[in-house]
Amino acid sequence: MNQSQLISDEEYFKNIPVGYRFHPSDEELTEYLMKKVFSNRPLPRNRIHEVKLYDFNPEVLAENYTPSGENEWYFFTPRDKKYKNGSRPKRGAGDGYWKASGANKHIMRNSEIISSKKSLCYYKGRPPGGDKTCWMMHEYKLSNPPAPVRTSENSMRLDDWVLCHLVKKPIVVKKSKTKGNKDEQHADPGHSRRNLETENIVDEQAEASKSHWPATFYGM
């Protein structure tokens, strides 16, 4: 065993040159997942942690695991069934739940679907009345994974492993442009523009009446 193999993953990534970022593509993440599921050999060095992700609020995960970049984390996690005789995954996590957003994306290789990518948003509280948070996630699942190994301790197991890309989205504070309007996204920019044009026309008409010259309006 050479010296590089004795260094922990954390120490290894600390010595990577500035500018390095672990940001694999969908296809590369699927390859990591396939190796995790089908091979007993160690994976190449990576920033993917192992955890029961659906046991925790994403804030807890972010506090306890090193990010792979700015506000993003990767996890291998098992999935459990929501109901004993069903096939739907359990989406409750910590003091909230994950909710799917948008259609699944198929990851292809040689015209064959090898995995699916599902987008989810985290809500605090109980469904369906939870509050949407700034946390989102992409969940990767193999198309034909082996049957999960169930024991008395994990009889609800649906998948032994899926791969999740957790992201904390920045909160954008929208400033009001007009007095009394609290949220810019609800403001009508055309309304303000029309008000300004009307004020200009009134001012020009007033000046024209004073000088007895006709006013000229451009763009009307």
Distance CA 105, CA 29 (A): 14
Phi, psi of 8 (to 5 degrees): -65, 160
Output the pLDDT for position 171: 76
Token digits of residue 215: 């006013």
pLDDT tens string 136-180? 999 999 999 998 888 877 889 999 999 999 999 987 766 666 555
This prediction's pTM: 0.72
More confident site: 18 or 198: 18
pLDDT of residue 8: 74
118/91 Cα distance (integer angstroms): 13
The tens digit of pLDDT for each residue in 49-77 reads: 999 999 999 999 999 998 988 899 999 99
User: How far lies 184's CA from each of 1, 133, 139, in Å?
Assistant: 60, 20, 33
**Distance between start and end Cα atoms, the chain:** 81
Per-residue pLDDT tens over the stretch 178-194? 555 544 444 444 444 44
In order of start, what are the domains of the chain with their CATH numbers?
A: 3-168 (2.170.150.80), 173-220 (no CATH)
**Percentage of the chain exceeding pLDDT 90:** 54
111: left (phi over 0), alpha (psi -120 to 50) or beta: left
